[in-house]
Amino acid sequence: MTEAVHIVRCRLCTRLVARDAAVCPSCGAKDPWIPDEPTLSVRAIRLLMWGGAIVLVGLLLIVSGVLMFAPADDERDHRPPVALSATHDSR
């Protein structure tokens, strides 16, 4: 029996090329077909996505905490000034 040759499109000129061809006969591109497999493993991609999500949530919590608990511009300090507190000492 003969094996069926898988035919795919060239990544540059989109002409039909055999899957195992090293060079496209039409445009001369090296490696005319690149598999659709990711270069990283699926586990590594998932780990990077979770890590990025955790960092993003942490940054959002920090920013929201700073915005919620930072003193407002018009808020005054309610402690007495240092110069006045020295004159009120009764020692």
Whether the Cβ atoms of residue 18 and residue 5 lie closer than 8 Å to each other: yes
pTM, 2 dp: 0.43
Domain definitions of the chain by residue range: 1-35, 38-73
| pLDDT-derived band at 69, boundaries 50, 70, 90 | confident
Checking if the pLDDT of 1 tops 50, the result is no
Checking if the pLDDT of 85 tops 70, the result is no
Q: How many residues does the chain have?
A: 91
pLDDT above 70 as % of the chain: 76
| pLDDT-derived band at 51, boundaries 50, 70, 90 | very high
Q: How far apart are CA 33 and CA 27, in angstroms?
A: 13
Q: How far apart are CA 11 and CA 45, in angstroms?
A: 24
66 sits in which H/E element: helix 42-69
7 sits in which H/E element: strand 7-9
Checking if the pLDDT of 73 tops 90, the result is no
